[in-house]
C-alpha cells in the first residue's frame, strides 16, 4: 500500500471518528450543526472520477447514518456532493486550469479558492441534507437558517483543520 493511499485511509477514519465521537453533539443554539466528515470528499485528489467519489460518499454517508440513526439522509447528501464535486472543481478552476501537482487544499490553492470551493460543496451538502430531513415545506425559513448556520460552522472547522494539519507549503516537485 503506498503512502498516499494509506494517508487517505487514515484521514477518512480520523474524520469519521471525530464526527461520530466528538462533533456529533456540537450543536449551537439548536440551529448550527457541524459535519466535518464532508472534508473527506472535499480533500480528495482532483483526479478522482465522479463515480469513485460517489461510491466513497455512499460509504462515508452510510457509516454516518448508522451512528446517527438516520435512514439514508447523510448517504444521499454525500452521494450528491460526490456527483457535484467535479462540476464545482471545473467551475472554480484557475484561469489557466489546474496544474498536475495542484490538489484541493488550502495550503496549495490559497484561501480564496479554497473558501469558494468548500463553501459551494458544503452549502450543497447541507441544503440537500436539511431539506431531506425536513421532508416538507413547513418551517422552510427555519430550515434555511439551519442550512446557513451549519454551513458557516462547518466551514469554520474545515478551515481550522486545514490550517492545523495541512500547513506544509505546496511543492511542484
* DSSP secondary structure, 43-68, as one string: TS-TT--HHHHHHHHHHHHHHHHHHH
CB 78 within 8 A of CB 57: yes
Q: What is the mean pLDDT of residues 70-74?
A: 94
Give pLDDT tens digits for 102-112.
Answer: 788 888 888 99
117 CB burial (10 A radius; 0-12, 13-18, 19+): buried
Instruction: Give the distance between the most distant pair of CA atoms in the chain.
Output: 54
Q: What is the mean pLDDT of residues 18-28?
A: 92
Query: What pLDDT score does 171 carry?
Result: 44
Residue 170 pLDDT grade (very low, low, confident, very high; cuts 50, 70, 90): very low
Average pLDDT of the residues of the chain = 90
Query: What pLDDT score does 96 carry?
Result: 79
β-pair partners for 114: none
pTM of the predicted protein model: 0.90
β-pair partners for 27: 33
Q: What is the mean pLDDT of residues 145-166?
A: 93
Orientation of helix 50-68 relative to helix 73-91, angle to 10°: 150
pLDDT at 89 over 60: yes
Q: What is the mean pLDDT of residues 89-96?
A: 87
pLDDT at 126 over 70: yes
Cell output for 104:
484541493
Amino acid at each position: 500500500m503506498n503512502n498516499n493511499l494509506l494517508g487517505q485511509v487514515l484521514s477518512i477514519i480520523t474524520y469519521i471518528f471525530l464526527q461520530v465521537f466528538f462533533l456529533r453533539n456540537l450543536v449551537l443554539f439548536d440551529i448550527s450543526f457541524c459535519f466535518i466528515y464532508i472534508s473527506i470528499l472535499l480533500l480528495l485528489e482532483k483526479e478522482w472520477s465522479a463515480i469513485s467519489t460517489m461510491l466513497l460518499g455512499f460509504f462515508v454517508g452510510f457509516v454516518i447514518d448508522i451512528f446517527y440513526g438516520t435512514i439514508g439522509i447523510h448517504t444521499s447528501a454525500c452521494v450528491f456532493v460526490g456527483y457535484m464535486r467535479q462540476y464545482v472543481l471545473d467551475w472554480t478552476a484557475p484561469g489557466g486550469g489546474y496544474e498536475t501537482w495542484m490538489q484541493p487544499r488550502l495550503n496549495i490553492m490559497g484561501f480564496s479558492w479554497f473558501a469558494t470551493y468548500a463553501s459551494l460543496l458544503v452549502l450543497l451538502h447541507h441544503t440537500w441534507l436539511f431539506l431531506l430531513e425536513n421532508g416538507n415545506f413547513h418551517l422552510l425559513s427555519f430550515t434555511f437558517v439551519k442550512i446557513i448556520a451549519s454551513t458557516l460552522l462547518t466551514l469554520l472547522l474545515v478551515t481550522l483543520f486545514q490550517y492545523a494539519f495541512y500547513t506544509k507549503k505546496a511543492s511542484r516537485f
